[in-house]
Amino acid sequence: MSGDRYELNLLVIVMDVNPIWWGQQAQREPEFTLSKCLDAVMVMGNSHMAMTTTNRLAVISSHFQDSHFLYPCKNWTGGDGAWDGTMDEAPYCGDGKYELLSVANNVVAEEMKRVMSTTEMKGNSTDTLLAGSLAKALCCILLQKIVTFFSAGQEMKSRILVIKTAEDCARQYMNFMNVIFAAQKQNILIDACVLDSDSGLLQQACDITGGLYLKIPQKIALAQYLLWVFLPDLEQRPQLVLPPPVHVDYRAACFCHRNLIEIGYVCSVCLSIFCNFSPICTTCETAFKIQLPQMMKSKKKKLKQSI
């Protein structure tokens, strides 16, 4: 057998569970709820773990307060194999399924109920903390890479899949871009499956890291899109007919109002971007020397002496 068969592959799914968006969604389309979306995500996760015995899975929920690991969770008592996502020694359930797959479904469902039931409205901010969730996914991947390398001497492939619902938050632009470039440096793929309005930040993330961006036309068919587009890894995708790449909006967000702008003022010291001119940079407090227009000195006319 080839060594690629035993190459470890970690998939981290970041799921946007903003309760405000899902509450409005339940009124607009009662046939597609958060539970239906979670079922589709677990179909994707179970398919990933069932493809090879060395595939691993992690699921993170992201809402406007913080982010949580749905799987594996803190209360997990199944040993290291559950986190590894390996099924070499996993027994079968009575219905013929691997016990690990059945337990993963139950753990994710229970953790999702706990997260949504303990969510309280505090403050005026209702934006999904997607940048923080991506940073947590990135830390999870890097930690597992280190553990895998030093414990087994193996390399590990990894990628992140974002299930996006709510609109972008321009206030997270800098944190978001830092996570994107960190993922690019570590060769970590970021894919995005968008359920509502397009996300300019995720378009940039997918384009920079080499991932796929897809806004699905029918939410009820989420499971089919996840299996068709996002289940294959980077090596398998060139053999498939996938949706064409989208036009990427590379506009930057200003630091003063967090609005996306095409033309702005850039600080020469810290590279902060502003939509309006300011004599002092509000980020690094650098005072700019304003060059006033130079006045041309008028030459004195010599008086002609009359003869």
Given CA atoms 170, 174, 180, 184 in this order, what sign does their dihedral have? positive
Q: Is 196 exposed, middle or buried (0-12, 13-18, 19+ CB in 10 A)?
A: middle
What pLDDT shows up at residue 295? 66
5 closest CA partner among 88, 78, 82, 99: 88
* CATH numeric code, 3-245: 3.40.50.410
What pLDDT, on the 0 to 100 scale, is given for residue 187?
A: 94
Taking a C-beta distance cutoff of 8 angstroms, is the pair 10, 71 a contact?
Answer: no
Measured CA to CA in angstroms, residue 65 lies from 68, 110, 129 at distances of 10, 19, 7
DSSP H helices, the chain, are 19-28, 34-51, 80-84, 99-117, 130-152, 173-185, 200-209, 222-225
Tell me the β-bridge partners of 214: 193
Q: How far apart are the first and last CA of the chain?
A: 113
In our burial notation (b when 16+ CB lie closer than 10 A, e otherwise), range 2-19 reads eeeeeebbbbbbbbbbbb
Phi, psi for 258 (deg, rounded to 5) = 60, 30
For the stretch 48-105, pLDDT in tens is 988 888 889 999 999 887 889 999 876 544 444 445 444 344 444 445 455 667 778 8
Token pair in block for residue 246: 């989208």
Of the candidates 147, 144, 174, which has an alpha carbon nearest to the alpha carbon of residue 159?
144
**Torsion sign, CA atoms 45, 46, 47, 53:** positive
- Return the SS3 of 106: helix
Tokens (6 digits) for 194: 């968008």
Mark the ranges of the chain whose per-residue pLDDT is less than 70: 1-6, 74-100, 121-125, 292-307
**Rounded to whole angstroms, how far apart are CA atoms 281 and 273?**
9
Buried b (16+ CB within 10 A) or exposed e, 111-134: bbeebeeeeeeeeeeebbbbbbbb
Q: Are strands 273-274 and 265-266 parallel, antiparallel or unpaired?
A: antiparallel
* Burial tier of 192 (Cβ tally within 10 Å: 0-12, 13-18, 19+): buried
Alpha-carbon span 80 to 56, nearest angstrom: 11
The domain limits of the chain are 3-245, 251-289
In whole angstroms, give the CA distance from residue 69 to residue 58. 7
